[in-house]
């Protein structure tokens, strides 16, 4: 066993099950292992590395800022935070932004804001506020967030959970309308469900949800932590339907693949429920993170990565759709967030990812049923062709293995 793997297994918590590869270097869409083998990264750290590994402009910003000022806490102003927040609000169309570190922190911030808004603005009775979420959601790993999950493993052994959450089917407009009561504060939704298997709702779903929320004075909060920052071919996935949510959550790619940076953005009357002492974070909005995140936003625009994500995503989707394999159940997604669903009864998506690893393609399955394909946004058509050829080879080999297994069983 590799000594790096051995040390992680011996001294680390076993809350992940990594693929058996030890990475040591990255550049653009590529990563290299300790043996010098090169891989195309088709996962980009769950979209956190949308700009590519070690983007030179962002690395330069990081090193320059780190040599001047990194962390001072929000007890003081800095010369980097304001410009970052201004740019973020301009790009999302939101009034104000509250910076945090991780996506889960952004979600927790949204939950607190929605509840306090419900009590102070909407006048919901104290401790009666409800927040509607969708079945199959993934918003993070905190106690409150796993409490509103429908995934048994995420919940098992971690209760009791905070009350106040109501679950409805994803993609079902009527279910949302039926679930709303006078005490409903917000509807929290992913425009595309990522962890659940790259599930795209019916066209017009988000727009209809926005109309229902507006009619009932309910906040529409879009979790764009994975789908935002150009991943789906628009800056926000909600832009595809021309929807302006009441609040937006960003993270992952906001840190340029270098730092954890997240943000909760919303309109004035929602953010104004927070007063000094209500909420905070020692590291949230620190100068180093602010400088890198502003750089990440600028690079996204200057290098036309959003447009590339749209065209490259279309190219990837078309190429995958031409693969005629009995193992493929469905190809789904938008932009460069694509899922290859594998039919039950064949090799698992996890097994296929292990086979892809040997061919120099790096990704991970979700729930053993879907292969994620979400590379850095600058991936080229030639690199996509290489990946699709590897997938075709793996599917062909898997089909042979299944047939041989059936013959042996006979």
Question: Which residues carry out catalysis?
Answer: 138, 223, 252
Phi, psi of 140 (to 5 degrees): 140, -165
Nearest CA to 93 out of 226, 245, 209, 230 is that of: 245
| Beta strands at 130-134 and 328-334: parallel, antiparallel or unpaired | unpaired
Nearest CA to 48 out of 225, 183, 285 is that of: 225
d(CA 214, CA 369): 36
CB atoms within 10 A of CB 336: 32
* Contact status, residue 369 vs residue 197, Cβ threshold 8 Å: yes
d(CA 211, CA 177): 10
Q: Is the peptide bond before 160 cis (omega within 30 degrees of 0)?
A: yes
| Beta strands at 365-366 and 370-373: parallel, antiparallel or unpaired | antiparallel
d(CA 151, CA 120): 33
């Amino acid at each position: 066993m590799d000594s790096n793997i051995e040390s992680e297994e011996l001294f680390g918590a076993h809350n992940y099950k990594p693929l058996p590869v030890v990475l040591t270097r990255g550049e653009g869409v590529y990563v290299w292992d300790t043996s010098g083998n090169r891989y195309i990264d088709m996962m980009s750290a769950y979209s956190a590395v949308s700009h590519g590994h070690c983007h030179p402009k962002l690395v330069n910003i990081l090193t320059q800022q780190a040599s001047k000022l990194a962390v001072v806490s929000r007890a003081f102003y800095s010369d980097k935070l304001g410009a970052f927040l201004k740019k973020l609000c301009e790009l999302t169309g939101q009034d104000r932004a509250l910076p945090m570190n991780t996506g889960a922190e952004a979600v927790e911030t949204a939950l607190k804001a929605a509840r306090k808004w419900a009590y102070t603005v909407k006048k919901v009775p104290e401790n009666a506020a409800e927040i509607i979420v969708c079945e199959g959601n993934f918003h993070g790993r905190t106690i409150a967030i796993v409490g509103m999950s429908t995934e048994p493993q995420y919940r098992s052994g971690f209760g009791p959970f905070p009350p106040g959450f109501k679950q409805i089917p994803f993609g079902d407009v009527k279910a949302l309308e039926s679930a709303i009561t006078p005490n409903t504060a917000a509807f929290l939704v992913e425009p595309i469900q990522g962890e659940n298997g790259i599930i795209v709702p019916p066209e017009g779903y988000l727009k209809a949800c926005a109309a229902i929320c507006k009619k009932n004075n309910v906040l529409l909060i879009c979790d764009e932590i994975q789908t935002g920052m150009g991943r789906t071919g628009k800056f926000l996935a909600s832009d595809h339907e021309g929807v302006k949510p009441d609040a937006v959550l960003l993270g992952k790619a906001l840190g340029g693949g270098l730092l954890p940076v997240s943000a909760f953005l919303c309109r004035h009357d929602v953010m104004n429920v927070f007063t000094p002492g209500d909420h905070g974070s020692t590291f949230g909005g620190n100068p180093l993170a602010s400088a890198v995140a502003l750089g990440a936003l600028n690079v996204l625009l200057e290098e036309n990565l959003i447009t590339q994500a749209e065209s490259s995503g279309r190219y990837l989707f078309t190429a995958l759709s031409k693969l005629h394999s009995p193992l493929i159940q469905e190809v789904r997604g938008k932009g460069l967030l694509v899922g290859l669903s594998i039919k039950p009864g064949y090799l698992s998506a996890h097994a296929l990812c292990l086979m892809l690893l040997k061919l120099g393609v790096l990704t991970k399955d979700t729930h053993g049923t879907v292969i994620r394909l979400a590379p850095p946004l600058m991936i080229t058509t030639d690199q996509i062709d290489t990946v699709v050829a590897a997938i075709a080879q793996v599917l062909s080999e898997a089909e042979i293995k299944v047939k041989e297994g059936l013959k042996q069983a006979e």
